[in-house]
DNA sequence: ACAATGCTTCGCTTATGGTCGAACTATGAA
DNA sequence: TTCATAGTTCGACCATAAGCGAAGCATTGT
């Protein structure tokens, strides 16, 4: 009776306009940072933080710390289906406002996340590496296998300077546009640097877009096949 | 955007404890009066009236005037399924409180509604009459057919005094415990009086319960078969 | 070490909305 | 008609919570 939300508490959580906007934004399946959600809801970061705390306490959201970001996503499929149900009803009766879709296509495809590759290609690379057991992901931990070490060495990554850094060697990072993981950590940085060096891609200054050349993308896909 | 409820407005409607209690009570499928809903929610009638107005504006409730009562019920199946979804979620996470079931079984079976028969037996009688085309129900209007007039005459109803009354001859009345219609109006009164006269049933003083005898109920079912 | 960024916590103001008392309307019963 | 019951409307009160400025904490990058 005090543990979890009853129907009134649940309704009240969803009933605030700011929270409803946040939840609607998260319905895309993407995980978003507190700042992004604040912008979506049109409120300041402090207010958003309070709202996110309440949603989390209510069991609607799941939070994942990621460096200095906090990615929020819907807690589970149940939450999504409840919202789905309510949105469907609201749409049927009146007209609910249409949400703006995903923004910049190029940004979704490939971009820098800190200093490693993110976006669809980043996810593709991550999946390709885990599928071949070069990386093993369990829970939030990511471990590099011997065969993986060999693969990266063959790819031209020098592990020596990486060992000195206090940054973890490899680390999964939740993707902004795809809700999937991609490879962060010093290996992730080294790989992106390698792509630049090989001329596969170039960074668009000012934006976070990573522009792959046609040949570069082909070579990339050959090295990291789906 | 202002016409119907968006998801935030919908959540806010369900999010108030008083309204949530009312809606939960209505989930049984029964139609309840404003007073009953007020009691369910533990608020005064004025406050309940305000809440019911909002729920109606939001498209969650349907109202049916019935003499000096107003019966409220969930607007449609969509509303019920949204609530179902939310209650399921709330129950899964925490424990939502268990609702008290229907109260007095005898009251549900047969009782007086003003001066005619209500409850399961009242509904049975109504269904039996409409199934045989003695009464025809369309929209909210109820009309007596010629064969119906003959049936009631054979049953011993004298129509002469009834004509003088300004009360409608027959009229459907929404049932309190079954959300179904039963027969009101002066014919309904006359029938109940007839049951008393025949010794089929007796009224329990102080309560609204109509106590049928074993023989009485058998005879009743013979006259008004399902 | 230092600055910059992302987010949280604290304290305060403000306003939305739930609540009830009182008065009014509508329907039915005597 | 008169009275009683069911419900609505109005007006005022008040509690909850949304909002933001400012300060503090945590993490990353140089």
pLDDT digits (tens, 9 = 90+) for A123-176: 889 889 989 999 887 655 678 888 999 999 999 888 877 766 656 667 666 555
Total count of residues recorded for chain A = 226
Q: Rounded CA gap, B144 and B115, in Å?
A: 19
Q: Quick one: fold of B7-93?
A: Arc Repressor Mutant, subunit A (1.10.10)
pLDDT tens digits for B180-192? 667 877 888 889 8
Tell me the pLDDT band of B99, cut-offs 50, 70 and 90: very low
Lowest mean pLDDT segment, chosen from A18-22, A79-83, B219-223: A79-83
Taking an 8 Å cut-off on Cβ atoms, the answer to whether A1 and B89 are in contact is: no
Q: What is the pLDDT of residue B97?
A: 42
3-state SS class at A206: coil
- Between the CA of A78 and the C1' of C22, what is the distance in angstroms? 47
Q: For the residues B205-212, what does the mean pLDDT come to?
A: 69
pLDDT range class, residue A91, cuts 50, 70, 90: confident
Minimum distance, in Å, between the CA of residue B25 and any CA atom of chain A: 12
Q: Are A182 and A173 in contact (CB under 8 A)?
A: yes
Whose CA is nearest the C1' atom of nucleotide D4?
B68
With CA atoms as reference, the chain B residue closest to A12 would be B15
DSSP result, A136-198? EEETTEEEE-HHHHHHHHHHT--HHHHHHSSS-S-EEEE-TTTSSEEEEHHHHHHHHHHHHHH
| pLDDT on residue B180 | 61
Residue B56: CB partners within 8 Å, gap ≥ 6? B62, B63, B72
**pLDDT 10s digits, B68-87:** 788 898 888 778 778 877 88
Reported confidence tier of residue B114, pLDDT bands at 50, 70, 90: low
**B11 pLDDT exceeds 50?**
yes
* Distance to chain B for A40, nearest Cα, Å: 14
- Residue with the two structure tokens 């980043």: A122
Could you give the residue ranges of the DSSP H alpha helices within chain B?
7-15, 17-26, 34-41, 45-57, 77-93, 105-109, 120-131, 146-155, 159-164, 185-198, 214-223
Nucleotides of C under 7 A from a protein CB: 4-11, 17-23, 26-29
pLDDT category at A85 given cuts 50, 70, 90 is: confident
Categorize the per-residue pLDDT at B6 as very low, low, confident or very high, splitting at 50, 70 and 90: confident
Q: What's the average model confidence in pLDDT over B200-225?
A: 83
Average pLDDT taken over every residue of chain B: 79
Q: How confident is the model at residue B103 (pLDDT cuts 50, 70, 90)?
A: very low
Q: Find the mean pLDDT for residues A59-82.
A: 83
Please state the domain extents for chain A: 7-101, 106-223
Encoding tokens for residue B66? 């019935």
What's the CA gap between A141 and A134, in Å, rounded?
A: 14
Neighbours of A180 (CB within 10 A): 18
Tell me which residues of chain A have a C-beta less than 8 Å from any C-beta of chain B: 1-17, 19-21, 23-24, 59, 78-79, 81-83, 85-87, 89-90, 92-97
The predicted pLDDT at position A138 comes to 66
Q: How far is the CA of A27 from the C1' of C30 (A)?
A: 62
The pLDDT, as a whole number, for residue B70 is 86
Q: What is the pLDDT of residue B25?
A: 87
Which positions 153-182 on chain A have a beta carbon less than 7 angstroms from any atom of strand D? Answer: 167
- CATH code of the domain made up of A7-101: 1.10.10.10
Q: For A85, which residue in chain B has the nearest alpha carbon?
A: B82
Q: Are strands B135-138 and B141-144 parallel, antiparallel or unpaired?
A: antiparallel
């Amino acid at each position: 009776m005090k543990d979890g939300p009853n129907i009134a508490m649940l309704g009240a959580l969803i009933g605030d306009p700011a929270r409803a906007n946040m939840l609607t934004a998260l319905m895309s399946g993407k995980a978003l940072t507190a700042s992004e959600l604040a912008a979506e809801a049109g409120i300041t970061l402090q207010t958003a933080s309070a709202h996110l705390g309440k949603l989390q306490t209510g069991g609607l959201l799941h939070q994942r710390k990621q460096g200095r970001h906090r990615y929020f996503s819907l807690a589970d499929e149940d939450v999504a289906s409840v919202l789905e149900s309510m949105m469907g009803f609201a749409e049927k009766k009146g007209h609910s406002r249409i949400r703006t879709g995903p923004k910049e296509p190029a940004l979704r495809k490939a971009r820098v996340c800190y200093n490693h590759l993110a976006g669809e290609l980043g996810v593709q690379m991550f999946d390709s590496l885990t599928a071949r057991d070069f990386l093993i992901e369990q829970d939030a931990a990511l471990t590099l296998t011997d065969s993986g070490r060999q693969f990266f060495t063959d790819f031209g990554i020098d592990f020596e300077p990486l060992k000195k850094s206090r940054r973890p060697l490899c680390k999964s990072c939740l993707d902004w546009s795809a809700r999937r993981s991609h490879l962060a950590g010093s290996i992730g940085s080294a790989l992106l640097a390698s792509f630049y060096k090989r001329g596969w891609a170039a960074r668009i200054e000012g934006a976070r877009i990573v522009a792959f050349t046609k040949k570069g993308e082909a070579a990339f896909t050959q090295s990291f096949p789906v």
